[in-house]
Amino acid sequence: MLDKFTTRTRSLISAGITGLLLFLIISPLSKYFIEFITLPTEVHNIKVIQKTHEVDISWSKNTEYSIASYNVYLDNVIVNKDLLNKDVDNYQIYELMNNKNYSLRIEAKDIYGKVSKSSIYVINPSEKNSTNIFNIGSDFNPFNYVIIVTFTIVTLLFILNLWVLFFKINFKTALTIAAFPSITLIPYFILSLSLLLTLNNQITKIVFSLIIAIIYVFITYLLILTSNILNGSLFKKLPLEQAAKASQFIFGLISTYLMLIYIFSSNFPLEIKLLIFLTIVTYFTYASLSTVKSINENQIITRVIAVTLTMGLSIFVMSVWPIESIYAILTIAVIYYILLNVALEIRIKVGRSLWIEYSVLIFLVVLLLLTNAVWGVRGTII
């Protein structure tokens, strides 16, 4: 039944499904629902400083939106009487007997009245101060969150795009065409999810999540149509073939530029930055060249290697050139634009206009590098 839909309908359905799933994953609405039906997570990273006749207790606050308070129990008797709200992460207990074992447990309570599981820990105040840490856990890691959400959505998109293409692909086209929308969207996900994590207001998060999902549906729809046209053009001449190649070129460049910014703004070692970015460059270059029918596989591989090596050399030069990172990133982006255009060129004689364009870009890049270098007279060349 699903195969009876037109290509545009299948594309729209696929984009809509992944957009809806994205909204459900990143929107606070889904988290509210999950928290409504599940218990709060157990309190972790409980630090107990044992002193003379007292203990000082602290813990990592739970990340659930619905947390209302924390309860502290000593020998199974509550000692704080719900006075610890969700923003409190410490408590002191006084007038204890030295060298006596007490059982301690801490539970999180949500607005629905549900409480978390809690383990029992033995504490022993004494004249000699000591520190114990119980139930060590990992705090929320934004990087892991972005990676998991991105992997989930792009995997689903890849499967749905195979359905749009009626699974009429081979290994090469699965990599260069069917996977193109998923790989292209990775930097868009990283950007939008990173911005979402900076928001604190829940209403703002919901609205922003909806905007992200809507934009995602639109971009995904265009990318799926692009991959479908590119796949069809391998078998016959299609009216929108050139438009699809242009779309592939533009989306590939934008994604490469975004990944360039993310990677070289990070604290990764240079070797890791090179490995990640050159892998991206290799993929988008190979994917773009694979749709050019007049170039054989050996020529494609030769051009991909040439572009990748040149980009690697450019990145190395930019890493040691005395210039701010924003200018280095811009320079690398322009170099890749020129190299990809040259690699895609199939004409024996290139028009004068292209040579003028490339010459102007190279001149501007050299001028930028010279005028913004942090050495020379008063810190710059000029």
If we measure between CA atoms, which residue out of 281, 285, 345, 342 comes closest to residue 312? 281
Rounded to 5 degrees, what are φ and ψ at 109?
Answer: -125, 135
Residues 358 and 308 both lie in one domain: yes
Q: Between β-strands 84-85 and 90-93, what pairing exists: parallel, antiparallel or unpaired?
A: unpaired
Domain final position from 134, 153, 188: 134
Dmax over CA atoms of the chain, in Å, equals 92
Rounded to 5 degrees, what are φ and ψ at 183?
Answer: -70, -35
Element (H, E) at 342: helix 325-344
Do residues 18 and 52 lie in contact, with contact meaning Cβ atoms separated by under 8 Å? no
Residues 150 and 121 both lie in one domain: no
Strand partners, 122: 103
What integer pLDDT is reported at residue 382 of this predicted model? 46
Which two tokens mark 330? 């811009």
Do residues 64 and 33 lie in contact, with contact meaning Cβ atoms separated by under 8 Å? no
If we measure between CA atoms, which residue out of 357, 219, 338 comes closest to residue 281? 338
Residues 199 and 315 both lie in one domain: yes
Q: What is the distance between the alpha carbons of residues 303 and 342, in angstroms, rounded to a whole number?
A: 9
Q: Is residue 54 part of a domain?
A: yes
Domain final position from 109, 134, 159: 134
Element (H, E) at 21: helix 7-26
Strand partners, 103: 122
Residues 185 and 279 both lie in one domain: yes
What integer pLDDT is reported at residue 113 of this predicted model? 87
Residues 317 and 297 both lie in one domain: yes
Residues 103 and 150 both lie in one domain: no
Q: What is the distance between the alpha carbons of residues 332 and 326, in angstroms, rounded to a whole number?
A: 10
Which two tokens mark 191? 């950007």
- Which 3 state secondary structure label does DSSP give 291? coil
Sign of the CA dihedral with 86 first, then 92, 94, and 96 last: positive
- Rounded mean pLDDT for each run of 10 residues along the chain, 382 residues in total: 73 92 85 82 90 91 86 89 78 90 91 89 87 75 75 90 85 88 89 82 87 92 92 80 87 88 78 86 91 85 92 85 82 88 69 74 82 60 47
Q: What is the distance between the alpha carbons of residues 116 and 135, in angstroms, rounded to a whole number?
A: 14
Which two tokens mark 55? 């203990």
Residues 260 and 321 both lie in one domain: yes
What's the domain count of the chain? 2
Residues 285 and 182 both lie in one domain: yes
What integer pLDDT is reported at residue 304 of this predicted model? 93
Residues 161 and 206 both lie in one domain: yes
Residues 318 and 202 both lie in one domain: yes
Residues 65 and 116 both lie in one domain: yes
- Which 3 state secondary structure label does DSSP give 72? strand
End-to-end alpha carbon distance in the chain: 69
* Three-state helix/strand/coil letters over 133-191: EECCCCCCCHHHHHHHHHHHHHHHHHHHHHHHCCCCCCHHHHHHHHCHHHHHHHHHHHH
Q: What is the distance between the alpha carbons of residues 334 and 108, in angstroms, rounded to a whole number?
A: 53
The angle, 0 to 180 degrees and rounded to 10, between the axes of the packed helices 202-233 and 28-37 is: 110
Residues 159 and 124 both lie in one domain: no
Q: Is residue 83 part of a domain?
A: yes
Q: Is residue 33 part of a domain?
A: no
Q: What is the distance between the alpha carbons of residues 87 and 98, in angstroms, rounded to a whole number?
A: 30
Domain final position from 111, 134, 157: 134
- Amino acid identity of 96? L
Q: What is the distance between the alpha carbons of residues 193 and 211, in angstroms, rounded to a whole number?
A: 12
Do residues 50 and 124 lie in contact, with contact meaning Cβ atoms separated by under 8 Å? yes
What integer pLDDT is reported at residue 272 of this predicted model? 82
Q: Is residue 35 part of a domain?
A: no
Q: Is residue 164 part of a domain?
A: yes
Q: Is residue 160 part of a domain?
A: yes
What integer pLDDT is reported at residue 352 of this predicted model? 66
Q: Which whole-number Å values give the CA distances from 249 to 7, 97, 137, in the listed order?
A: 22, 74, 45
Q: Is residue 29 part of a domain?
A: no
Q: What is the distance between the alpha carbons of residues 344 and 291, in angstroms, rounded to a whole number?
A: 10
Q: Is residue 188 part of a domain?
A: yes
With b for 16 or more beta-carbon neighbours within 10 A and e for fewer, the 183-192 pattern comes to bbbbbbbbeb
* CATH code where residue 48 lies: 2.60.40.10
* Domain coverage including residue 48: 43-134
Element (H, E) at 104: strand 102-110
Q: Between β-strands 67-74 and 77-78, what pairing exists: parallel, antiparallel or unpaired?
A: antiparallel
